[in-house]
Structure 1
């Protein structure tokens, strides 16, 4: 997903050149996914970016890889539902995923375009999909809290509550930060050890979720509350399915390093990590040796 505005970052961070050859961060995610057997890339973005992204990515992808670049649009709503008000932001991450309903027919992975998830995350997700193809089987690739914090300010993290490998719920903590030798959510006052598993929005979904999002979009708009600013979030949809026993969600350890660019000051650190991994042989440089004309 690459449709967010990046309010804390100060610009559209999904298209910032962070790699050694100024690759976008999402290119490393695409590369890792392809290396682990994924062969269909769907990018959800703003309407103004569709042509640019398609023309940029298509020549770089190997032969045989399907690419769909789709616009998340306010007027793309379930049949019989309309919105006549004024609204600046998209309808949220669940609606972004729903945008792909016409092009996805198999289990799929959802990630943020401005996060780096690591090679093992895609390997573990691919193995999970191969072993679990049930309609009600979903997965969450999770990371250790201490490894997802920013040195430059607080972050919002979904803390996993689980029973063994099964997810029970994800509790959003909106202002988690390092304080001396502790990790604190300054909103609630809760302290964390740092060993907790958190969601970084790396989900493994079954296409059955599209029907559920259709229902939730209808309910949300019919309710008519906060339609100018409210959003429908993918984690909330999945948690509702979990609560209503429409889905089981396995917690999949990432076994990878995560980093992102929440703040502009995170950029230099992300660039250094990509450079380091490339120099160590983890990635080719250039990432795509052949760019088709």
Structure 2
């Protein structure tokens, strides 16, 4: 692993690493650690870097796609804050990198609250190091498919006020969840949130009119084969179904680079993004 254990947080990192080591899959690459590597992070293993190399060989744009997702996350968080939403439940939050949700939110609204949830042990351990000492930020290790377990976890239950709007963040994570019950799982999260909340989502897809764009996205899917987190490319209608009967804010379901405004000079990512209002 390339994550450094020195520095002021080194002792806590080693302790977290030892506590979670039993759950780490050292043999297969993981999406959270691959994403970290492609964004220039250091919390990844050789197996993740090797898988990332295969992904880049299939689609050299993959690092740009990751950065575009990160940029969308920033814009989405800022949109939520501008619309009075100061609580965030980030499912599949991954390894913290520059521009974390809490960094963006707290910079604008010091009273904002952020609950990170991920299942990957390295992501969770490093997240604890990044947010240590921040009383308005929590990190929970849980499987996002376990709605009750997530919402009942102390880091979520004791931090987020269900009577106030919450932003449910599922950014670049749902295409790693093959569960056919995913629409119902997400509906249960939304049902637990009060009116005025929002569901933020981005999701990879090969459902495009441009055959070259569709091929690039399928190439990313091929690059993840054999990892612990293979990619499920849903169609545009299937992605819309993940948002249930919610109302999409303008411009609706569009390429990640085109939310909230079209960016004709930007190379499309092949991923769709949207924000849905929860009434």
Q: TM-score range by the shorter chain?
A: 0.3 to 0.5
* Higher radius of gyration, 1 or 2: 1
Q: Which has the higher helix share?
A: 2
Task: Work out which structure has the larger RCO, using CA pairs closer than 8 Å and 6 or more positions apart in sequence.
Answer: 1
Q: Which structure has greater strand proportion?
A: 1
